[in-house]
Amino acid sequence: MDMRKMNKIVFNVAMDLLNFMESVDFYSYDWYDIWTTRIGDRIQKIRYSGNVYKKHLTLPFFLPLYLIGKGVPELIQPIAKKTKAATSMGLVAQSYFILHELTKKKEYLSKGEKVLDWLIANQSIGHSGACWGLPFDWGLAKGVLVKKGTPCSTIMTYVIDAFLQGYRSTKKEIYMDTVTSSGNFLVNDLNYDKITENITCASYTPIDMFHIINSNSFIAAALYRIYNLTKNEELRRIADELINYVLTEQNEDGSWYYWGSQERFHKGIDSLHQCYIIEDLFYCYKKNKNGAVKKSIDKGIKYFESSFPRDDFLISKFPNSPNYLELIDQAESISMFIALGKTLAAQKIIESTLKYFKVKDKPYFYSAIAKVRKIRVPYIRWGQSQMLLALLSFLSSVNNRD
């Protein structure tokens, strides 16, 4: 497709999507809605009570609820409550600031600042620094039920990026102070497992000590972002030890499992978390120029490109399994390729996403496409906001290159 025509289409689609989000004040249904219903909440609390007997007892109820939530979420909407998530708001704020850069319109700068105001007002409380959690209870694993608002490490990079962009655009000290405060949370409130002198693993939340690989890449990237602002060498040291953990957990073929080797509950590999890790590592590599990190990224990309893209350039959820696709995977793969400078790969995924995922009579995208049906519910936290940022990042990338 002609690049000028492509850019116009992408811009219009992004604006329609943003206008839709604004019209609902960024509230939406969520993949987790089934667990916020009365029966789902009860089953989840029993399942994650830590009692093995009760966990097995809930299995006949848990699996059907899970399948309903993933396969026919429309059935849940009459009893579900829409939520507004910090993850989405971080992505939306970044989108506004990119729009301000692209169009020079002050209204987008103002809207970005309002989103940052919302994030400041809706921090999780009781911690040593600025942090954010999910707007509902959710089960992590092994009896750990994460309560609504509990800070989550994988949210932090999105929000920190938003405040950094806000600071670059406005020079308001409160945004820099918030970023620095977030660093205090990451260093002081998460739990750290010192595996060797130079390898450390951080927890997913303040209430667990699980070894989850992609959360460590998120934290490392966030710490490097803050280090870039403050030049606090302690942040860089911690980030490098977390990176070392991610590198040691990489499989020989270049992939990463979700769970670290310390408690590998399953050997799941999916495209989303490969994107997260590769993009985070690449950001860190740009700062530390560590050859081992570059080698790891090259292996990871080689695995990704051989396992997930289909013939039509859409990205499958699982390796060599083309029949299940999620919007968030398309969005994060676009963002990853843009970060790596692979604009043509990003463009091909965008073209296919517009062709197959765009709902023709609506301003948003299908959240998932399976062999048997398409999920039409527009989850802002899980796909729509990521796609908005991916589309605008593509335009920004092309604009800067030109």
What is the SS3 assignment for 196? strand
Instruction: Give the confidence band of 155 by pLDDT, cuts at 50, 70, 90.
Output: very high
Residue 4's pLDDT is what? 85
Q: Which of 287, 282, 209, 215 is nearest to 246 (CA)?
A: 215
pLDDT at 38: 86
Buried b (16+ CB within 10 A) or exposed e, 387-401: bbbbbbbbbbbbeee
Q: Does residue 193 contact residue 201 with C-beta atoms inside 8 Å?
A: yes
State yes or no: pLDDT of 314 exceeds 50.
yes
pLDDT for the residue numbered 56: 67
Burial of residue 52, with CB atoms counted within 10 A of its CB: 0-12 exposed, 13-18 middle, 19 or more buried: exposed
pLDDT at 352: 98
Stretch (H or E) spanning 145: strand 144-146
pLDDT for residue 326: 98
The domain ranges of the chain are: 1-26+308-402, 31-81, 156-305
How would you classify the pairing of strands 374-375 and 324-326? unpaired
* Least confident span in 42-46, 118-122, 132-136, 353-357: 42-46
CB 381: neighbour CB atoms within 10 A? 24
CATH value of 156-305 in 1.10.1060.10, 1.10.260.40, 1.50.10.20, 3.40.640.10: 1.50.10.20
**Ranges 35-44, 87-96, 207-216, 299-308: which has the least confidence:** 35-44
Answer with the residue of higher pLDDT: 112 or 322.
112
**What's the confidence (pLDDT) of residue 402?**
45
DSSP 6-57: HHHHHHHHHHHHHHHHHHTTT-B--TTGGGGSHHHHHHHHHHTSS-HHHHHH
Tell me: pLDDT of 1 over 90: no
Read off the pLDDT of each residue in 171-189 and give the average, rounded to a whole number.
97
What is the pLDDT averaged over residues 291-311?
Answer: 97
User: For 260-300, how does the pLDDT look when each residue is reduced to its tens digit (9 = 90+)?
Assistant: 999 988 899 999 999 999 999 999 999 999 999 999 999 99
Q: Inform me whether the pLDDT recorded for 140 exceeds 90.
A: no
Q: Where are the alpha helices (DSSP H) in 104-212?
A: 106-121, 153-170, 173-188
What is the spatial distance between Cα 257 and Cα 272, in angstroms, rounded to a whole number? 11
Q: Please give the average per-residue pLDDT across 1-8, as a whole number.
A: 85
Question: pTM of the prediction?
Answer: 0.95
pLDDT at position 371:
86
Average confidence (pLDDT) over 237-254: 98
The two beta strands, 144-146 and 138-141, are antiparallel
Residue 52 has pLDDT above 60, yes or no: no
